[in-house]
C-alpha cells in the first residue's frame, strides 16, 4: 500500500510543480500558493543559487553561470528542441513498451499500434515546420509590401525605423533581439521552436498546439481503455465480488480496483496522468492563442494594449478628477447650496467610476477575415507579390 500512495503523492507533486511553473502568472492564481511556487521556481531558487555560488566559489564561477544563462536564454540554441525530442521519444517508448503488449485487447484493435506512431510522426512534422519555417522576416526587399499590408493605426503603432536593422518598421512587427531580425506580425519568440512565431508560421504553431493536445487526449483515452480491457479480461470485478464478497457498487469496488491498478499497472497510470496534465496545459495554451487569432491580436500586442489602456485610463481619471475639483471650487465660491444628507453623500457615485476606456483594434476585421489572415498570410497571396513588382 505504501508504494501506491507514494505514486499518488508523486503524481500530485508533479502536477502542482508543472502547473505552477507553466501557469503561475495566470490571473486566476494571483495571490495563491501556485503563484508563490512559480516565483520560487522561475526566480527565487535561481537567485539563491547564484548567491550561494558567489559566496562559496567567487564571482568568476558566477560569471560562468551567467554566460551559460545568456547562451541558453538570450541566444538562438537548440536546447529546448532537443528536450522536446527526448520527451516525446521517451514517452512514446514507455507507452509502446508498457501498453503494446495488450493491443489488440478487449476495447482496442491492433491498428492503434500504427495510428499512435502516425500521430507522433505528424506531431514531429508540425514541430519541424514551425521550427525551421520563416516566421516572416522583414528586410529591404519586402518592407514596403509589409507596410502596405499592415497600415499604422497611430495608437499602438506609428511610423518609425528599426534602430537595429535600419529599415522602416511595419506595423505589428517587432525586432527580436534573440534572432536578430525584424518579424512581421510578431507574436513571440518560442524557445521550444528556437524560432519566432510571426506572420508566416502562426498557422503551423497553432496546428502544433492543437495536434499535440489531441495526441495527449488520444494517449490518455487509449491507455485508459487498455486498463479497462485488462479489468474485463482478468475478471477483476467478478473476483472482488464473488471471492472477496464485496458489494457490486461503485463506492465499494472503486478503491479496491484503483489499488489493484496502482499495484499492477503503475507505469501505465503514471503515463496516463502525465499525458492528461500536459493535455490540459496545451488546451489552455491553444485556447489563449485561438482567442488572440479570432480577435486578430498577437501576444506582443496584448502587452502594448495593456500599457496603452492603463495610460488612457489614468489620463481620463486625471481629467475627471480635475473637473470634479473645479466644480467643487466653483460651488464653494458661488451661493451656498443645500447640504446633502450624510447617507446620500456616502452612497453618491464617484465620477471616477464612469471612466471607460475602449480598445479600438483596427486590425480586427471580423471572424472569417481574422481566420483567413492566419491560414493564408498576406505574404503568401498574389496581391503581396504584385505589390512587390510594382514597388520595383
- Residue pair 201/130 in contact (Cβ under 8 Å)? The answer is yes
The C-alpha cell that represents 329 in the structure block? 471650487
Of 143, 144, 136, give the one whose Cα is nearest residue 373: 136
**Burial (CB count <10 Å: 0-12, 13-18, 19+), residue 134:** middle
Q: How far apart are CA 307 and CA 46, in angstroms?
A: 29
Of the listed 190, 196, 216, 293, which one is catalytic? Answer: 190
Q: Does residue 70 sit in helix, strand or coil? A: helix
What DSSP state is assigned to residue 352? Answer: G
Q: Does residue 181 sit in helix, strand or coil? A: strand
What DSSP state is assigned to residue 380? Answer: G
The C-alpha cell that represents 50 in the structure block? 547564484
Using the structure block, give the residue that is written with the C-alpha cell 499590408: 149
What DSSP state is assigned to residue 338? Answer: P
Query: For 163, what's the count of Cα atoms within 13 Å in the CB-facing half-sphere?
Result: 1
Of 244, 337, 271, 251, give the one whose Cα is nearest residue 96: 271
Residue 179 known to be catalytic: no
Active-site amino acid positions: 190
Amino acid at each position: 500500500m505504501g508504494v501506491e500512495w507514494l505514486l499518488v503523492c508523486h503524481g500530485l507533486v508533479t502536477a502542482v510543480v508543472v502547473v505552477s511553473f507553466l501557469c503561475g502568472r495566470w490571473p486566476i492564481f494571483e495571490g495563491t500558493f501556485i503563484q508563490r511556487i512559480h516565483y520560487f521556481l522561475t526566480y527565487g531558487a535561481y537567485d539563491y543559487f547564484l548567491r550561494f555560488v558567489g559566496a562559496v566559489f567567487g564571482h568568476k564561477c558566477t560569471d560562468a553561470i551567467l554566460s551559460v544563462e545568456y547562451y541558453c536564454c538570450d541566444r538562438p540554441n537548440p536546447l529546448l528542441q532537443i528536450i522536446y525530442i527526448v520527451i516525446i521519444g521517451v514517452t512514446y517508448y514507455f507507452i509502446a513498451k508498457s501498453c503494446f503488449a495488450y493491443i489488440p485487447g478487449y476495447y482496442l484493435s491492433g491498428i492503434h499500434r500504427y495510428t499512435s506512431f502516425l500521430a507522433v510522426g505528424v506531431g514531429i512534422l508540425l514541430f519541424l515546420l514551425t521550427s525551421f519555417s520563416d516566421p516572416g522576416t522583414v528586410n529591404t526587399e519586402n518592407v514596403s509590401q509589409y507596410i502596405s499590408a499592415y497600415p499604422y493605426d497611430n495608437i499602438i503603432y506609428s511610423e518609425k525605423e528599426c534602430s537595429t536593422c535600419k529599415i522602416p518598421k511595419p506595423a505589428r512587427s517587432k525586432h527580436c533581439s534573440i534572432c536578430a531580425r525584424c518579424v512581421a506580425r510578431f507574436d513571440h519568440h518560442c524557445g521550444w521552436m528556437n524560432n519566432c512565431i510571426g506572420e508566416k508560421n502562426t498557422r503551423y504553431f497553432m496546428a502544433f498546439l492543437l495536434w499535440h493536445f489531441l495526441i495527449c487526449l488520444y494517449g490518455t483515452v487509449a491507455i485508459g481503455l487498455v486498463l479497462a480491457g485488462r479489468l474485463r479480461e482478468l475478471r477483476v470485478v467478478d473476483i472482488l465480488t464473488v471471492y472477496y464478497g464485496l458489494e457490486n457498487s461503485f463506492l465499494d469496488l472503486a478503491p479496491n480496483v484503483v489499488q489493484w491498478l496502482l499495484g499492477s499497472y503503475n507505469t501505465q497510470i503514471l503515463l496516463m496522468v502525465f499525458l492528461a496534465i500536459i493535455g490540459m496545459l496545451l488546451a489552455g495554451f491553444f485556447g489563449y492563442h485561438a482567442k488572440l487569432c479570432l480577435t486578430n491580436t498577437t501576444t506582443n500586442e496584448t502587452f502594448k494594449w495593456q500599457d496603452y489602456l492603463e495610460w488612457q485610463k489614468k489620463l481620463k481619471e486625471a481629467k475627471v478628477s480635475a473637473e470634479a475639483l473645479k466644480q467643487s471650487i466653483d460651488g464653494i465660491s458661488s451661493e451656498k447650496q443645500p447640504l446633502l444628507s450624510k447617507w446620500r453623500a456616502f452612497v453618491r457615485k464617484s465620477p471616477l467610476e464612469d471612466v471607460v476606456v475602449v480598445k479600438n483594434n483596427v486590425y480586427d476585421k471580423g471572424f472569417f477575415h481574422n481566420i483567413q489572415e492566419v491560414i493564408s498570410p498576406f505574404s503568401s497571396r498574389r496581391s503581396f507579390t504584385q505589390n512587390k513588382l510594382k514597388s520595383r
